[in-house]
Structure 1
Protein backbone atom coordinates (compact mmCIF):
# COMPACT_ATOMS: atom_id res chain seq x y z
CA UNK A 1 0.00 0.00 0.00
CA UNK A 2 1.08 3.52 -0.66
CA UNK A 3 0.65 6.75 1.22
CA UNK A 4 -2.61 7.59 -0.55
CA UNK A 5 -6.05 8.17 0.94
CA UNK A 6 -7.71 5.36 -1.00
CA UNK A 7 -5.03 2.88 0.05
CA UNK A 8 -5.10 3.98 3.67
CA UNK A 9 -8.75 2.88 3.79
CA UNK A 10 -7.58 -0.59 2.79
CA UNK A 11 -4.80 -0.41 5.38
CA UNK A 12 -7.24 0.51 8.16
CA UNK A 13 -9.32 -2.56 7.32
CA UNK A 14 -6.34 -4.93 7.26
CA UNK A 15 -3.69 -3.30 9.42
CA UNK A 16 -2.98 -6.48 11.39
CA UNK A 17 -1.38 -7.88 8.20
CA UNK A 18 0.59 -4.77 7.27
CA UNK A 19 3.62 -4.80 9.53
CA UNK A 20 6.38 -3.23 7.43
CA UNK A 21 7.11 0.35 6.42
CA UNK A 22 9.25 1.08 3.37
CA UNK A 23 10.85 4.50 3.50
CA UNK A 24 12.81 5.72 0.47
CA UNK A 25 15.72 7.97 1.44
CA UNK A 26 16.02 10.66 -1.24
CA UNK A 27 18.78 13.28 -1.30
CA UNK A 28 18.39 16.80 -2.61
CA UNK A 29 21.26 18.92 -3.85
CA UNK A 30 20.96 22.02 -5.96
CA UNK A 31 24.63 22.87 -5.83
CA UNK A 32 26.69 20.01 -7.23
CA UNK A 33 25.94 16.79 -9.06
CA UNK A 34 22.32 17.88 -9.45
CA UNK A 35 21.51 15.44 -12.24
CA UNK A 36 23.15 12.51 -10.44
CA UNK A 37 21.28 13.33 -7.26
CA UNK A 38 17.98 13.53 -9.14
CA UNK A 39 18.72 10.20 -10.87
CA UNK A 40 19.49 8.63 -7.49
CA UNK A 41 16.15 9.70 -6.06
CA UNK A 42 14.26 8.70 -9.18
CA UNK A 43 15.83 5.23 -9.19
CA UNK A 44 15.08 4.65 -5.51
CA UNK A 45 11.46 5.74 -5.90
CA UNK A 46 11.04 3.25 -8.77
CA UNK A 47 12.57 0.51 -6.63
CA UNK A 48 10.38 1.41 -3.64
CA UNK A 49 7.28 1.37 -5.86
CA UNK A 50 8.19 -2.07 -7.15
CA UNK A 51 8.91 -3.44 -3.66
CA UNK A 52 5.53 -2.15 -2.56
CA UNK A 53 3.89 -3.83 -5.55
CA UNK A 54 5.61 -7.14 -4.84
CA UNK A 55 4.66 -7.15 -1.16
CA UNK A 56 1.24 -5.46 -1.39
CA UNK A 57 -0.77 -6.34 1.69
CA UNK A 58 2.32 -6.74 3.87
CA UNK A 59 4.03 -3.35 3.46
CA UNK A 60 3.12 0.30 3.30
CA UNK A 61 5.30 2.66 1.32
CA UNK A 62 5.73 5.99 3.03
CA UNK A 63 6.55 9.26 1.30
CA UNK A 64 10.24 9.77 0.65
CA UNK A 65 12.40 10.95 3.50
CA UNK A 66 14.01 13.86 1.69
CA UNK A 67 17.10 15.63 2.95
CA UNK A 68 19.70 18.05 1.75
CA UNK A 69 23.02 16.41 0.89
CA UNK A 70 24.62 19.29 2.82
CA UNK A 71 22.69 18.39 6.00
CA UNK A 72 24.97 16.72 8.54
CA UNK A 73 24.52 12.96 8.52
CA UNK A 74 23.92 12.81 12.28
CA UNK A 75 21.05 15.30 11.89
CA UNK A 76 19.51 13.14 9.16
CA UNK A 77 19.84 10.04 11.32
CA UNK A 78 18.20 11.85 14.23
CA UNK A 79 15.26 12.99 12.09
CA UNK A 80 14.88 9.50 10.64
CA UNK A 81 14.89 8.04 14.14
CA UNK A 82 11.87 10.25 14.94
CA UNK A 83 10.06 8.59 12.02
CA UNK A 84 11.08 5.17 13.33
CA UNK A 85 9.82 5.95 16.83
CA UNK A 86 6.48 7.26 15.53
CA UNK A 87 5.91 4.20 13.36
CA UNK A 88 6.94 1.55 15.87
CA UNK A 89 4.98 3.19 18.67
CA UNK A 90 1.90 2.80 16.47
CA UNK A 91 2.25 -0.84 15.51
CA UNK A 92 4.77 -1.05 12.67
CA UNK A 93 7.04 -4.00 13.41
CA UNK A 94 9.61 -3.55 10.63
CA UNK A 95 11.03 -0.46 8.96
CA UNK A 96 13.04 -0.81 5.76
CA UNK A 97 14.99 2.17 4.46
CA UNK A 98 15.97 2.07 0.78
CA UNK A 99 18.56 4.36 -0.76
CA UNK A 100 21.29 4.81 -3.35
CA UNK A 101 23.11 7.42 -1.28
CA UNK A 102 26.32 5.83 -0.01
CA UNK A 103 26.42 8.25 2.95
CA UNK A 104 23.78 6.09 4.65
CA UNK A 105 26.06 3.05 4.57
CA UNK A 106 28.43 4.87 6.92
CA UNK A 107 25.56 5.43 9.37
CA UNK A 108 23.90 2.03 8.98
CA UNK A 109 24.83 0.95 12.52
CA UNK A 110 23.03 4.04 13.89
CA UNK A 111 19.72 3.11 12.25
CA UNK A 112 17.15 1.20 14.25
CA UNK A 113 16.18 -1.14 11.42
CA UNK A 114 17.20 -2.42 7.98
CA UNK A 115 18.94 -0.34 5.34
CA UNK A 116 18.85 -1.51 1.73
CA UNK A 117 21.50 0.25 -0.30
CA UNK A 118 21.45 -0.10 -4.09
CA UNK A 119 23.82 1.53 -6.53
CA UNK A 120 21.98 3.87 -8.86
CA UNK A 121 21.37 2.41 -12.27
CA UNK A 122 20.85 5.18 -14.81
CA UNK A 123 17.48 4.34 -16.35
CA UNK A 124 17.06 7.63 -18.18
CA UNK A 125 18.25 6.52 -21.62
CA UNK A 126 17.18 2.87 -21.52
CA UNK A 127 14.42 1.65 -23.74
CA UNK A 128 11.31 0.63 -21.82
CA UNK A 129 11.76 -3.14 -22.09
CA UNK A 130 15.36 -3.04 -20.86
CA UNK A 131 14.37 -0.67 -18.03
CA UNK A 132 11.63 -3.06 -16.88
CA UNK A 133 14.07 -6.00 -16.99
CA UNK A 134 16.73 -4.09 -15.07
CA UNK A 135 14.30 -3.13 -12.30
CA UNK A 136 12.96 -6.68 -12.20
CA UNK A 137 16.49 -8.07 -11.82
CA UNK A 138 17.19 -5.70 -8.93
CA UNK A 139 13.92 -6.56 -7.19
CA UNK A 140 14.63 -10.30 -7.48
CA UNK A 141 17.72 -9.69 -5.36
CA UNK A 142 15.74 -7.78 -2.71
CA UNK A 143 12.86 -10.25 -2.32
CA UNK A 144 14.83 -12.88 -0.36
CA UNK A 145 16.41 -10.16 1.79
CA UNK A 146 12.96 -8.94 2.81
CA UNK A 147 11.55 -12.41 3.44
CA UNK A 148 14.65 -13.40 5.44
CA UNK A 149 14.22 -10.29 7.56
CA UNK A 150 10.66 -11.23 8.41
CA UNK A 151 11.58 -14.84 9.14
CA UNK A 152 14.57 -13.90 11.30
CA UNK A 153 12.68 -11.20 13.20
CA UNK A 154 9.71 -13.48 13.89
CA UNK A 155 12.09 -16.23 15.03
CA UNK A 156 13.71 -13.85 17.49
CA UNK A 157 10.32 -12.93 18.93
CA UNK A 158 9.43 -16.58 19.53
CA UNK A 159 12.62 -17.40 21.46
Structure 2
Protein backbone atom coordinates (compact mmCIF):
# COMPACT_ATOMS: atom_id res chain seq x y z
CA UNK A 1 0.00 0.00 0.00
CA UNK A 2 1.30 3.44 -0.85
CA UNK A 3 1.41 6.16 1.79
CA UNK A 4 -0.79 8.36 -0.40
CA UNK A 5 -3.65 5.84 -0.28
CA UNK A 6 -4.15 6.25 3.49
CA UNK A 7 -6.38 9.00 4.84
CA UNK A 8 -6.07 10.37 8.37
CA UNK A 9 -9.32 8.64 9.29
CA UNK A 10 -8.14 5.30 7.87
CA UNK A 11 -4.75 5.46 9.58
CA UNK A 12 -6.20 5.07 13.09
CA UNK A 13 -7.91 1.82 12.10
CA UNK A 14 -5.16 0.51 9.80
CA UNK A 15 -2.07 1.30 11.88
CA UNK A 16 -2.14 -1.95 13.91
CA UNK A 17 -2.11 -3.94 10.65
CA UNK A 18 0.22 -1.72 8.62
CA UNK A 19 3.13 -1.98 11.00
CA UNK A 20 5.94 -2.08 8.43
CA UNK A 21 7.32 0.83 6.42
CA UNK A 22 9.12 0.20 3.14
CA UNK A 23 11.64 2.93 2.36
CA UNK A 24 12.99 2.88 -1.23
CA UNK A 25 16.49 4.27 -1.78
CA UNK A 26 17.63 4.98 -5.34
CA UNK A 27 21.14 6.27 -4.47
CA UNK A 28 21.35 8.58 -7.47
CA UNK A 29 24.48 10.72 -7.61
CA UNK A 30 23.24 13.41 -9.97
CA UNK A 31 25.79 12.34 -12.57
CA UNK A 32 23.36 9.99 -14.33
CA UNK A 33 21.96 10.92 -17.71
CA UNK A 34 18.16 11.02 -18.01
CA UNK A 35 18.04 7.55 -19.60
CA UNK A 36 20.32 6.15 -16.87
CA UNK A 37 18.07 7.67 -14.22
CA UNK A 38 15.06 6.00 -15.80
CA UNK A 39 16.89 2.68 -15.75
CA UNK A 40 17.79 3.06 -12.05
CA UNK A 41 14.20 3.93 -11.15
CA UNK A 42 12.81 1.02 -13.17
CA UNK A 43 15.16 -1.45 -11.47
CA UNK A 44 14.09 -0.17 -8.07
CA UNK A 45 10.40 -0.28 -9.03
CA UNK A 46 10.73 -3.87 -10.19
CA UNK A 47 12.66 -4.82 -7.04
CA UNK A 48 10.01 -3.19 -4.81
CA UNK A 49 7.42 -5.48 -6.41
CA UNK A 50 9.14 -8.39 -4.63
CA UNK A 51 7.82 -6.95 -1.35
CA UNK A 52 4.88 -4.72 -2.22
CA UNK A 53 2.84 -7.37 -4.02
CA UNK A 54 3.07 -10.34 -1.63
CA UNK A 55 2.82 -8.21 1.51
CA UNK A 56 0.12 -5.76 0.49
CA UNK A 57 -2.00 -5.06 3.55
CA UNK A 58 0.90 -5.14 6.00
CA UNK A 59 3.48 -2.82 4.42
CA UNK A 60 3.26 0.90 3.60
CA UNK A 61 5.63 2.18 0.91
CA UNK A 62 6.94 5.65 1.66
CA UNK A 63 8.43 8.16 -0.81
CA UNK A 64 11.88 7.22 -2.05
CA UNK A 65 15.08 8.80 -0.89
CA UNK A 66 16.70 9.57 -4.22
CA UNK A 67 20.13 11.14 -3.95
CA UNK A 68 23.23 9.73 -2.34
CA UNK A 69 25.51 12.07 -0.44
CA UNK A 70 28.47 11.55 1.87
CA UNK A 71 26.24 11.69 4.96
CA UNK A 72 23.37 9.70 3.42
CA UNK A 73 23.68 6.61 5.61
CA UNK A 74 23.40 8.73 8.75
CA UNK A 75 20.33 10.46 7.29
CA UNK A 76 18.76 7.12 6.32
CA UNK A 77 19.39 5.84 9.84
CA UNK A 78 17.74 8.92 11.33
CA UNK A 79 14.81 8.59 8.95
CA UNK A 80 14.31 4.96 10.00
CA UNK A 81 14.32 6.07 13.63
CA UNK A 82 11.77 8.82 12.91
CA UNK A 83 9.49 6.42 11.04
CA UNK A 84 9.50 4.10 14.04
CA UNK A 85 8.81 6.99 16.40
CA UNK A 86 5.92 7.90 14.09
CA UNK A 87 4.24 4.56 14.64
CA UNK A 88 5.86 1.90 12.47
CA UNK A 89 7.17 -1.16 14.27
CA UNK A 90 9.47 -2.17 11.41
CA UNK A 91 11.34 -0.32 8.66
CA UNK A 92 12.72 -2.01 5.55
CA UNK A 93 15.14 -0.11 3.32
CA UNK A 94 15.26 -1.36 -0.27
CA UNK A 95 17.74 -0.36 -2.94
CA UNK A 96 18.49 -1.82 -6.33
CA UNK A 97 21.84 -0.24 -7.21
CA UNK A 98 23.54 0.54 -3.89
CA UNK A 99 25.29 -2.39 -2.21
CA UNK A 100 24.00 -1.66 1.29
CA UNK A 101 24.28 -4.11 4.15
CA UNK A 102 22.39 -4.28 7.43
CA UNK A 103 25.37 -3.17 9.53
CA UNK A 104 25.41 0.19 7.71
CA UNK A 105 21.83 0.97 8.77
CA UNK A 106 21.34 -0.28 12.33
CA UNK A 107 18.05 1.62 12.72
CA UNK A 108 16.51 -0.31 9.83
CA UNK A 109 15.05 -3.68 10.72
CA UNK A 110 15.93 -5.07 7.32
CA UNK A 111 18.07 -3.85 4.42
CA UNK A 112 17.38 -5.41 1.03
CA UNK A 113 19.90 -4.59 -1.66
CA UNK A 114 19.58 -6.10 -5.12
CA UNK A 115 23.24 -5.26 -5.77
CA UNK A 116 24.31 -7.18 -2.69
CA UNK A 117 22.00 -10.12 -3.48
CA UNK A 118 23.01 -10.35 -7.12
CA UNK A 119 26.71 -9.60 -6.89
CA UNK A 120 27.44 -12.63 -9.06
CA UNK A 121 25.19 -11.49 -11.93
CA UNK A 122 24.45 -8.31 -13.85
CA UNK A 123 21.39 -6.58 -12.36
CA UNK A 124 19.69 -6.46 -15.74
CA UNK A 125 20.33 -10.11 -16.60
CA UNK A 126 18.93 -12.07 -13.66
CA UNK A 127 17.51 -15.36 -14.81
CA UNK A 128 13.94 -16.35 -14.04
CA UNK A 129 15.19 -19.01 -11.63
CA UNK A 130 17.39 -16.55 -9.76
CA UNK A 131 14.56 -14.02 -9.51
CA UNK A 132 12.32 -16.65 -7.94
CA UNK A 133 15.10 -17.59 -5.52
CA UNK A 134 15.57 -13.90 -4.61
CA UNK A 135 11.85 -13.47 -4.03
CA UNK A 136 11.72 -16.51 -1.74
CA UNK A 137 14.79 -15.34 0.15
CA UNK A 138 13.38 -11.85 0.59
CA UNK A 139 10.02 -13.15 1.78
CA UNK A 140 11.80 -15.43 4.24
CA UNK A 141 13.84 -12.50 5.61
CA UNK A 142 10.67 -10.46 6.11
CA UNK A 143 8.89 -13.30 7.88
CA UNK A 144 11.93 -13.72 10.14
CA UNK A 145 11.89 -10.00 10.94
CA UNK A 146 8.25 -10.24 12.01
CA UNK A 147 8.85 -13.17 14.37
User: Fold match, TM over 0.5?
Assistant: yes
Using the alignment, how far apart are the partners of 2:81 and 2:139 within structure 1? 25
Using the alignment, how far apart are the partners of 1:95 and 1:84 within structure 2? 6
Specify the alignment match of 1:154 in structure 2. Answer: none
**Corresponding residue pairs, total:** 137
Using the alignment, how far apart are the partners of 1:134 and 1:100 within structure 2? 15
Shift of 1:139: 2.1
Specify the alignment match of 1:140 in structure 2. Answer: 136
Instruction: Say if 2:99 and 2:113, in contact at 8 Å, map to a contact too.
Output: no
Specify the alignment match of 1:98 in structure 2. Answer: 94
Specify the alignment match of 2:118 in structure 1. Answer: none
Specify the alignment match of 1:122 in structure 2. Answer: 124
Q: Rg bigger for which structure? A: 1
- Check 1:11–1:55 CA distance in 2 against 1; reply closer, same or farther (3 A cut): farther
Larger proportion of helix: 1
Specify the alignment match of 1:83 in structure 2. Answer: 79
Question: Out of 87, 104, 110, which is 2:104 matched to?
Answer: 110
Q: 1:35-50, aligned counterparts within 5 Å?
A: 38-50=38-50
Specify the alignment match of 1:3 in structure 2. Answer: 3
Q: 1:43-82, aligned counterparts within 5 Å?
A: 43-68=43-68, 71-72=69-70, 75-82=71-78
Using the alignment, how far apart are the partners of 1:23 and 1:12 within structure 2? 21
Using the alignment, how far apart are the partners of 1:77 and 1:39 within structure 2? 23
Using the alignment, how far apart are the partners of 2:92 and 2:65 within structure 1? 12
What is the alpha-carbon root mean square deviation over aligned residues?
2.9
- Check 1:64–1:134 CA distance in 2 against 1; reply closer, same or farther (3 A cut): farther
Using the alignment, how far apart are the partners of 2:21 and 2:31 within structure 1? 31
- Check 1:39–1:116 CA distance in 2 against 1; reply closer, same or farther (3 A cut): same
Unaligned runs of 5+ in 1: 124-129, 152-159
Instruction: Say if 2:47 and 2:96, in contact at 8 Å, map to a contact too.
Output: no
